[in-house]
Structure 1
Amino acid sequence: MSRPSLTERISLTKKAREEKQRARRRRVVSKRDGMRYEVDGESLLCFCSNDYLGLAQHFTVSSAFQDAAARLGTGSGASHLVCGHFSEHDALEREVAEWLGYPSALLFSSGYQANLAVAQAFLGEGDVSIQDRLNHASLIDAARLAGASLRRYPHVDAEGALRQLRGNPEGAAMVVTDGVFSMEGDVAPVRALALIARVQHATFVVDDAHGVGILGTDGRGTVAAAGLGLNEVPLQVVTLGKALGGEGALVLGDQAHIEHLKQNARPYIYTTASAPASAAASRVALQLARRESWRRERVFANLARLRQGLLGAGFELPGSDSAIQSIPCGSDEIALAMSAALEAQGIWVSAIRPPTVPENSARLRVTLSALHSDADIDSLIAALRWSRDAVGTGYRAE
């Protein structure tokens, strides 16, 4: 028997992808001004960016990046444990930990790396990772990297998590959930999950990528909004690339957990540290997010306006009180046609299809920013109504 041909595998995979209309393409952004993007030479009003607070282009944030780059260079030059850990990295760790009420924090180059690190450093063969079925892909991959058993419970079903824990009593256990689910926009039942984890002697981990900066008092996220902290959620993952408009992520915990990560997490040990200028920019973005509450207020005003308009127009919307609003389309074909029809009207909303979401649940994922005006929201509502009606009668954009 001959070995499988990777070239043949690539060809078959491509064919299957194209038959299902699931080929993805990168769009080239050449310029942006607020939520107005120049994409492949076309000006579009963007409703698919995770820059919820509008900080990615803030003058003060950009200036901090430029000043730090002038002093410290554009790259760190090494991993954190060699010579790549700069004062800006160190200050960012301290400031985020203080903001969220945790003793310590560890900075990673991306949220994906942070999630891989948590599972790999703490779990191994014979252990179990109990996860929401709609968790982010990085959390699922993390359990696999660790060699732990992955057990998934129905979406936001705390009792399902309890059943999985009771059914897997051997070895160390982690209960892991998104805080705000990236495709649904709904919030995990963190209080119930925290209680279950404590009773079952499991470690509770919350990846709050889409909650921190938006939800709770001072924008401190899902965990704080539920009245929880270190005692209930020993490990929390916070990304900088969403509401804070930058890049990278931090894992928060007590000093013992964070030191263990520092000494054992392969995604931390063997990765070049992010640019110190990026950390400097994130520190300023954090200060703005904490000080300028109007940004969160604006997001929620946009949310209320959008939901009222769409529900009044007969759209069925899942329950979501976050900056992420999911508009179900069902089939890949309809989602693609709706996205194309929106673009024909100058609106950029991506069609989300499997495997990013489960089969038969393709949707438009609308994200809201503090930079969107009332007029922008009204334009989106009108464009969605027109696109729905046009696609329903067979319209397909050229």
Structure 2
Amino acid sequence: MLSEMKEIAKQKLKARKSEFFSEYPDVFNKMYNFTRAKTAKALRYYPYFLKIQESDTTEVVIEGKKVLMLGSNNYLGLTKHPEIAEAGIEAIRRYGSGLTGSRFLNGNLVLHDELEVKLARFVGKEAALVFSTGFGVNLGVIATTVGPGDLLFSDELNHASIVDGSRFSRAEIIRFKHNNMKDLENKISAADKTKGRFIVVDGIFSMEGDIINLPELVQIARKYGARLMVDDAHSLGVLGPKGNGTAAHFGLTDQVDMIMGTFSKSLACVGGFVAAEEPVIDYLKHHTRTMIFTAALPPSNVAMVSKALDIIEKEPWRRKKVLENAAYIQKNLKKMGFNIGMSTTPVVPVIIGEEMKTFRVWKDLFEEGVYTNPVIPPAVPENRCLLRTSYMATHIQSQLNFCLDKFYKVGKKHGIIT
């Protein structure tokens, strides 16, 4: 019955195309011609949108099979913390499920303001502004900060949200080689001195797992009159003496003008924020379209993030443990002969290179009980396809050893290691 309905729909679509688009180009053609995902599914190499049926954070169940989760950004293992869950439930009881409007108008709770004070204190800035998504922070803040007539300097491996925020700003975008401060200085020193300068970088790069060379970067920013924004999406909870980010990690908080962060990694929820001087935040609050024209973050999310911050501060063992787990994995993958790039954080890429080989390795690891994230262009450069793995404070030693055993077995099979 279902196949008959699909065939009827297909015939109707064909007739409609013949009637309305015989003389004009159809913008849907690229969609009708997209077959890559269907082909991958038919070959059983499709690794995306897998349906997770159960989760205890370090292990998940997919299609009835339990696998070790190495694809999550839940670095501190807080997503099922009972205090966080209870904070969300209590906020729902008090305020309801959502706010049905933007913070600018009817959706601003005392909870939002309290969280902003707490976030600003946590990262060492005067003020903060909470958004409904991390992507929305970068998209809106970058486009509000710079525009036509300004220069925006961006690391070539910055996150897609930074890339899109840069495009949206309509500033002149100048990309520099990944974490290459000499290349940045060459480009910023030669740039138009009459234009404003803004540098945006990731703290921890989401695919490479390395840390921005912030000490040299802040020197360049000050030397050439540039403002600096650091995206700490993957750094909060991981870097810094209290998990308070990249700038704190290097003792350079006062040298970074804007600190951006998300709630969807170590803070175990969803949403994002930016922190800076109070006048800067006040301006962003009244001009940033992705905050003004987006429904406010629901009460439960705000309460859970606030509680997560409390737990990060009172349970420092989580930050220490996730770094220990990452170092153990890095050491042993390197010892086996895997290329993990320059990773020094819980984000550990296993660089394979060729796209189809990456999918084959992903599939074999999955069948062996290990969940990883295959990453292909444009998320990474051509011929640098990789499996992105990430580790949690709550991964236990036996799970890490299981992971290493499976990587060794699959790596040998595909000739990645000898």
Give the TM-score normalised by structure 1: 0.94
SS in 1 for 2:283: helix
Which residue type is aligned with residue 388 of structure 2? Answer: R
1:119 to 127, 131, 142: 142
Q: What per-residue deviation string (whole Å, max 9, x for no partner) do you get for residues 142-201 of structure 1?
A: 111111111100000112122222232242111110000000000001121111111211
| Contact kept in structure 2, 1:93 and 1:106, CA below 8 Å | yes
Gap regions ≥5 residues in structure 1: 394-398
CA shift digits 1:268-312 (9 cap, x unpaired): 110001101101001111111111111112112212221222222
1:190-205 aligned at under 5 Å gives the runs 190-205=214-229
Q: Would the alpha carbon gap of residues 334 and 15 (structure 1) be closer, same or farther in structure 2, given more than 3 Å must change?
A: closer
How much does 1:129 deviate? Answer: 0.8
Shift of residue 354, structure 1, vs aligned partner? 1.0
Task: Indicate the residue corresponding to 1:221 in structure 2.
Answer: 245
| Corresponding residue to 1:98 among 104, 107, 121 | 121
Contact 2:131/2:291 (<8 A) preserved:
yes
Q: 1:9 aligns with which of 8, 30, 37?
A: 30
Matched, 1:363 2:378: no
Query: Are residues 1:27 and 2:47 paired?
Result: no
The counterpart of 1:159, out of the listed 182, 207, 224, is 182
The alignment status of 1:382 with 2:399, answered yes or no, reads no
1: distance between equivalents of 2:49 and 2:187?
39
The answer to whether the 8 A contact 1:118-1:265 is kept is: yes
Distance 2:185 2:354 in 1: 33
Q: Distance in 1 between matches of 2:337 and 2:348?
A: 15
Query: Larger radius of gyration, structure 1 or 2?
Result: 2
When residues 356 and 292 of structure 1 are mapped into structure 2, their CA distance, relative to the original with a 3 A threshold, is same
Unaligned runs of at least 5 residues, structure 2? 1-21
Please, which of 187, 208, 213 is the counterpart of residue 211 of structure 2?
187
More displaced stretch, 31-40 vs 127-136: 31-40
Aligned partner (choices 120, 126, 131) of residue 154 of structure 2: 131
TM-score normalised by the chain length of structure 2 = 0.90
| Cα distance in structure 2, aligned partners of 1:196 and 1:13 | 45
User: 1:115, CA displacement in angstroms?
Assistant: 0.5
- What's the CA shift for 1:3? 4.3
CA contact (8 A) 1:88 1:277 kept: no
Letter paired with 2:312: A
> How many residues in Structure 1 have an aligned counterpart in Structure 2?
391
Deviation at 1:243, TM superposition (A): 1.0
Instruction: Confirm or deny: 8 A CA contact 2:129 2:285 kept in the other structure.
Output: yes
| 1:313 paired residue number | 336
The 3-state SS of whatever aligns with 1:262 is: helix
SS at 1:80 equivalent: coil
**Residue in 2 that maps onto 1:396:** none
- What is the rounded CA distance, in whole Å, between the counterparts of 1:17 and 1:264 in structure 2? 42
| 8 Å contact kept, 2:236–2:261 | yes
Query: 2:270 maps to which residue?
Result: 247
In structure 1, the residue corresponding to 2:387 is in which secondary structure? strand
**1:292-346: per-residue Cα shift (whole Å, max 9, x none)?**
1111121122122212222222223212211100111011111111111111111
RMSD: 1.9
Q: Secondary structure at 1:380's aligned position in 2?
A: helix
**CA–CA distance in structure 2, aligned partners of residues 241 and 210 of structure 1:** 9
